[in-house]
Chains A and B, each alone.
Chain A
Amino acid sequence: MDDVVCSGCSLLCDDVSAEVSGKSVSSLGLCKLGHTHLEKVVMLKSESIEKKLEKAVDILLNAKNLLIYGWTHTTDEEVQEGLKLAEMTNGHFSSSTNLGPWQAMLHSIHSEGLAIDLEYVRNNGEFIIYWGSDPSESLHRHSSRFAVLPRGQKIPEGVESRTIGVVDVRKTETMKMANHRLIIPAGADAELLDVILSELEGKSVVKDKVLGIPGSELIGFVNGLRKSDCTVIFYGSGVINSGKYDSNLSGISKLIKAIRKTGKEAYALPMFVEPNTMGVIKAISQEEDDALQRMASGEFDVALIVSDDVLANLPNIAAKALARMQTVYVGLSGGFTDTKAKVSIHTNDPITAGLGTMTRVDMKEISFKKWKTRKEHSTIRDVLLKMQDIIRGKKA
C-alpha cells in the first residue's frame, strides 16, 4: 500500500494508505467517507476532453455576465488558476464558501485568524465542546484524531483527561461520548450563551430549567468551563446556518473572552466540512460577496462550476436560477450539477492525482502525496490551464 492524503473532507487525513488494482480499491485508516470517495474517483471512465474544451470556452467567451463558482473541492493551486481565468473572461469569481463559512471567517470572532490548530487541541484541549456540529456524521475522524480520544502532551490519559460537551437541537451520535449533553430549541443558541456567560460571571441566574435543560446540568456545564485550563468550542452548521450566525458567533466570542479573563485558555474553531473551504477563503479577497443574491436575481447568464455539486446545496431560489443558466461543469463526474451542465469536463481528483495542496479546516496546509494509481485523467488545473491557452489563442 502507498501513503496517500484523503480529500474526502476538510480533515485531509495524511496518515492513511491505499492501493488500487484495476477497479478494486483497498485502504487502511480511511473512514467510510474517504474510502467511498476514493472508490468513486477510481471508477471514472477515461474520456477525450479536447472538443469539450473548445465548446466550453466558446460558451464562457459568449457570456454577457459570467459567474465562476464552486471551488471547495479544488486545490489551492487550482483556485489560483481559477482567479486568473476569471480575470481573462471578466467573470465574477465566487465560491460555495459563501453558504456560511465565508461569513463566519469574516466575523470578528476570527479577526486574528484561528489562534490554534488541531494538533494544539490534541495536546492541550481539556473541555471540548461541539456546538451545532456533529463529527460522527460529517468529519468522522475529528474526535479520534484530534479532539476527544487521543492522548496529548497535557492530556496524558486521552479522553479520561478531557470533558466533552455537545450542544445541539437534537440528540446526536456524538452525544454518546459526551459528559454534558445540552439539547436546545432551534435558534436558541444566543440565549443559551447569554445564560452560560452570566452563570460563569457568578450571577447565579440558573435556578430551574433553562430552555428545557435542567438547571443542575447547566451548572455542571459551567463548572466544567471553570475547571478547564483549555476550552475549545467547535462550532458547525447549526451555528452558522441557523439564520442567526452573527448573534451566535458574537455570543461564543463573548464567552471565550470571559473565560480568558479568568486566566484560562479558550478558543473557537470551525467545523466546515468541504475539503478545501479554508483554501478558498484564504485565496479570495475580503470584500463582501453578493454572488448568491445576484445569482438568485438572474443577473448571470452563464456559469462555470468547478468541482462542486452546487445545485444540490444551494438555497432553493439560487439553485432554480442556476438551473436556468447555461452551465459548464469541470470536476468529478456525478451529481445534479454535472448532469444539468451543457458541457461537462470530467477530471481526476487530488486524492488520486497526488498533486497540489489543500488547506485543512484549521488553516494548516496539507500537500498531496504521489502514489501508484491510474492518472490518465486531467486534473482541474490541467483543464483550467488549457482553457486559458485557448482563450489566449482566440483573443490573439
Chain B
Amino acid sequence: MAFATKLALGDVSPDDCPPLLEPEFKKNLDKIREMVAPLLSAEATGIKLDEDKCTGCNNCVVVCPVDVAAEPPTSEGRAAMSTDTVFRIENGVSKIINLEKCRRFPPDRLNCRVCEQYCCTDAIEIW
C-alpha cells in the first residue's frame, strides 16, 4: 500500500519495484505503467495548463493563495507584475512561472485545487 501511495504521488516508478520486473509479472508491470503514464506526463504538481483554452482572465492569479501572499495586490484583483507568483498572465495567457512555489509541489503536496476550480474555460486541469 505504501508503494502504491508513493507511485500515485510520483515519488517512485513501477520499475522501482523489483518483483514487478520478474518475467511472470510482465503483464502487471505493463498495466501499471499504462495507469501511471498520465501522471508522468503531468508536471510535478499534476497541474496541466492548456494555453489554447486560456483567455487570460486572471482568475488563477487572484485565487491562488501563494500568489496572494507573494504579491498582495492580486488578492484585490490586480494583475500580477512581479516574478514571485506561481501564475502570471503573459501575452494574453496564463503562465506558471514558479511551479516550485505551488502548494502541490513536493514535498508538501497539499491537495489544493483552487486554480482548477475557478478556471472557467478548463484550461487548468489537475491530474
Contacts and interface: CB of A to CB of B under 8 A. Distances in A.
- Are A and B genuine complex partners? yes
Interface of A: 13, 15-17, 25-36, 122, 135-136, 140-141, 143-146, 149-152, 158-159, 173-174, 176-177
Q: Is the interface of A mostly helix, strand, loop or mixed?
A: mixed
Nearest to B89: A29
Nearest to A173: B120
Given A26-B91, A35-B91, A159-B118, A143 B59 contact: yes
B98 interface: no
Contacts of A25: 91
12 contacts: A28-B79, A30-B91, A30-B92, A31-B92, A32-B54, A32-B92, A143-B59, A146-B77, A149-B62, A149-B63, A150-B76, A158-B63
B99 interface: no
Contacts of B80: 28-29
B45 interface: no
Nearest to A177: B118
B77 A149 contact: yes
> Among B63, B75, B92, which residue has the most Cβ atoms of chain A within 10 A?
B92
B77 A150 contact: yes
B47 interface: no
A122 B75 CA distance: 11
> Among A26, A36, A176, which residue has the most Cβ atoms of chain B within 10 A?
A176
B41 to A, nearest CB: 24
A141 B92 contact: no
Interface of B: 54-59, 61-63, 75-81, 88-93, 117-122
B62 A35 contact: no
Contact of A144 (B61, B88, B92, B122): B61
Given A140-B56, A152-B76, A177 B121 contact: no
A264 to B, nearest CB: 24
B35 to A, nearest CB: 28
Nearest to A141: B58
Contacts of B57: 31, 135-136, 140-141, 143-144
Contact of B55 (A26, A140, A158): A140
B62 to A, nearest CB: 4
Contacts of B93: 32
B88 A28 contact: yes
Contacts of A16: 79
B81 A144 contact: no
| Top 9 A-B pairs, shortest CB-CB distance | A29-B79, A35-B92, A150-B77, A31-B56, A145-B77, A32-B92, A144-B58, A173-B120, A136-B120
Nearest to A153: B76
A189 B85 CA distance: 42
A28 B120 contact: no
A144 to B, nearest CB: 4
Given A31-B57, A32-B55, A150 B75 contact: yes
B55 A144 contact: no
B75 A158 contact: yes
A324 to B, nearest CB: 37
B58 A145 contact: yes
Nearest to A38: B92
A36 B85 CA distance: 24
A200 B61 CA distance: 36
Contacts of A144: 57-59, 61-63, 77
B124 to A, nearest CB: 11
Contacts of A35: 56, 91-92
A114 B126 CA distance: 41
B120 A177 contact: yes
Contacts of B79: 13, 15-16, 28-29
A30 B89 contact: yes
B121 A136 contact: yes
B117 A177 contact: yes
Given A16-B79, A35-B91, A149-B118, A29 B58 contact: yes
Given A140-B55, A173-B120, A27 B76 contact: no
